[in-house]
Amino acid sequence: MRIGPHDLPNNLFVAPMAGVTDRPFRQLCRRFGAGYAVSEMVTSRKDLWHTLKTSRRADHQGELGPIAVQIAGTEPGMMAEAAAYNIDRGAQIIDINMGCPAKKVCNKWAGSALMQDEALALSIVEAVVAACEPKGVPVTLKMRTGWCQSEKNALTIARAAESAGVQMITVHGRTREQGYKGEAEYDTIAAVKAALRIPVVANGDIDSPEKARQVLQATGADALMIGRAAQGRPWIFREVAHYLATGTHLAPPLVAEVQRALLEHLQDHYGLYGEYTGVRSARKHIGWYVKDLPGGEVFRSGMNALETSEQQLDAVSAYFEELSQQMDRLPAVQWHPALETMQ
């Protein structure tokens, strides 16, 4: 798998998720087998570039390349400036966000709202490519199937973006109207793949090795992007890679391995966010890890009341030590094909 001059180790990608895909999470997923990770979106508004929130989102210290930064905005000139700004700070790939369904983003005509204005969307693509091309930095695009069921224009925008110089396109198989509800459909992704020469990435509802294989077969995509299924389960990447290569399942991870991974993730997380913010923002990550484990709900409610990183680390250690007395490995994740109808 290749993006511009960059060779990737595999075709399994971590989705850029606001408030989730920060540097510690990206590095964690890479350690568990993801071949590529895109940062959570960085605003094109220059007045916000030096805020603490944006500086954390743009932190790539110690991260394996290629460094991919996703930018969001509505004005071609500002998006071009944002691309150049991030390249000067280490970005090796620039990704344009036309997929975020959040109201606070779409209300400003950014994210997936851009799909309602094809002329503006193309102007942004052309401006960003013009800013990146002289620096040898490839531009990629992430989008949805369209704004709503009656306005699915992913194919039109994808063709125009390819002609404008975009070097890879990711399609989430939902409209903006759907948000994250209902089921993703893959016919639109298959149509985009059939029409383009550049790599196409399939995204949406890929939550098991079996589903990963189905989506590849249904779309012909060059790569898969996994988002929510990696929350609290970053080893899904190595599970999918093993299954696609062999047709067999890896054993679930050892409890001791998960304990070690989570504690390392938390230390990295506190290092990026500091004590106060780090403790509070770590709660969701811890909750995802234990959600389906024995006693997980009780543990999570108690853990959410803890106020210091030391207390969190001690509580996590104690929980997994107790769990290791009950089992060597995590319970196997059950896949139910009847519930995973392909659209």
Query: Which string of DSSP letters, residue by residue, matches 237-255?
Result: HHHHHHHHHHSSPPPPPBH
Distance CA 134, CA 65 (A): 20
Reduce the DSSP state of residue 150 to 3 states and report it: coil
Measured at the alpha carbon of residue 97, what is the angle toward residues 95 and 101, in degrees to the nearest 5? 155
Q: 197 φ, ψ to 5°?
A: -100, -25
Which has the closest alpha carbon to 265: 291, 288, 299, 295?
288
**Residue 132 annotated as catalytic:** no
Distance CA 253, CA 235 (A): 8
Reduce the DSSP state of residue 88 to 3 states and report it: helix
Q: Largest Cα–Cα distance in the chain?
A: 60
The catalytically annotated residue of 100, 106, 132, 148 is 100
Strands 223-226 and 12-14: parallel
Cis preceding-peptide flag for 66 (omega within 30 of 0): yes
Active site amino acids? 100
